[in-house]
Amino acid sequence: MGMNVKAKARMYRELGKLLGASFPMDKSITMLLNQNPRGPKHDFLAGIDKGFAQRMSFAEAMRVYNHGSAGSMELSLIEAGEQSGRLAESCVHLAHYFETWSKGIREARGAMIYPMLLLHLGVVLPEVSRFYMQGALGKETHPAAAILWRLILFWLALLLLWAAWGALTRAAVRSDGTDRLLNRLPLIGAVRRHWALARFTQVFHSGLLAAMRISECLRLGGDASQSGTLLKGSQMAAATVERGGTLSGGLADSRCFPQDFTNSVATAEAAGAWTGRWRAGRRPRSPSPPKPRETPLTGIRRRFTLASWGMSPSASS
């Protein structure tokens, strides 16, 4: 059994602090193991330490010894962080992601208490009212068995629904049709779309920092998004870029990404492609050097950075 999201958030936060303080990776893992962690966290850190002893990288050790507890997003961010020399930043990204996820789980559980209470009352109250009505007529009744039977059927139905939801969400990781179906659900669909795009942008941004090719960043981000729709769109956009097309054009042609997002990427490309020449007849008023212009890569990187933290790119302009 892997670590829960709260334990992962704490572990990546600690790793981010140690790596940000210029501690070596192997020393950081050893320091965390010396804190005597228990259960899945100890197994995770021990697997990384074993991989280091075999001269593996952090991502390779995770893939070999922790493949059951490390998701595709974790592997992609760690791998991009190692290649870019920004492993501490990748760990901070992961800590922020899992902290937000843990907070969302707590809030969802709190919000479900009242509806679940009403559902249980709806199951129990009919038998209670029947018991009082038959008692008023002088009939002997035994409501406990009927209430217990109703509760068993109710919880069995909940378990079946939970199993069906789990099967659908696992299929939606690779299936565009299933993912689109789940994304159309009220409330749940909006949350799913938000988290999928957040995972995509975080990994894409880390890939840019690692100086990866745009097509590689797209494929890494699509795989880490855990969304069949974004996976399909990122693969189509990667193919477009490899044929010489633009990033924004590939994202727009796939029709798998939000319109606002593709417009922001198109704006970044257009702003970065601006030559920065002075208009005819105009000269700078002071001899100070001109400000460095934004290149296409830095413009796109800025948009993906803002999107990965849940901010609107247009709001910060």
pTM score, whole prediction:
0.67
Is the domain of 238 the same as that of 301?
Answer: yes
Structural domain includes residue 57: yes
Number of domain units in the chain: 3
Structural domain includes residue 316: no
Is the domain of 107 the same as that of 64?
Answer: no
Q: Which helix (H) or strand (E) holds 111?
A: helix 87-136
Is the domain of 57 the same as that of 124?
Answer: no
Structural domain includes residue 286: no
Is the domain of 119 the same as that of 46?
Answer: no
Three-state DSSP at 206 gives helix
Find the CATH number of the domain harbouring 42. 1.20.81
What integer pLDDT is reported at residue 230 of this predicted model? 93
Domain span at 265: 188-274+293-308
Structural domain includes residue 78: yes
**Token pair 């942008």 is at which residue?**
201
**Among 123, 138, 173, residue at a domain's last position:** 173
Q: How far is CA 131 from the centre of its chain?
A: 50
Is the domain of 255 the same as that of 193?
Answer: yes
Structural domain includes residue 313: no
Is the domain of 39 the same as that of 62?
Answer: yes
Is the domain of 139 the same as that of 241?
Answer: no
Structural domain includes residue 75: yes
What integer pLDDT is reported at residue 301 of this predicted model? 53
Q: What is the mean pLDDT for each group of 10 consecutive residues in the chain (317 residues)?
A: 82 91 89 88 90 90 84 82 84 86 81 85 79 67 77 91 91 91 89 88 79 84 88 93 89 91 85 40 39 48 51 45
What integer pLDDT is reported at residue 186 of this predicted model? 87
Is the domain of 301 the same as that of 206?
Answer: yes
What integer pLDDT is reported at residue 139 of this predicted model? 66
Is the domain of 201 the same as that of 107?
Answer: no
Cα separation, 23 vs 272, whole angstroms: 36
Is the domain of 147 the same as that of 131?
Answer: yes
Is the domain of 121 the same as that of 159?
Answer: yes
Structural domain includes residue 69: yes
Count CB-CB contacts under 10 A for residue 276.
Answer: 9
**Among 140, 173, 206, residue at a domain's last position:** 173
On whether the CB atoms of residues 196 and 180 are closer than 8 A, the answer is no
**Among 61, 95, 129, residue at a domain's last position:** 95
Cα separation, 218 vs 225, whole angstroms: 10
Cα separation, 267 vs 270, whole angstroms: 5
Is the domain of 42 the same as that of 131?
Answer: no
Cα separation, 26 vs 14, whole angstroms: 14
Structural domain includes residue 279: no
**Tokens found for residue 109:** 């559980």
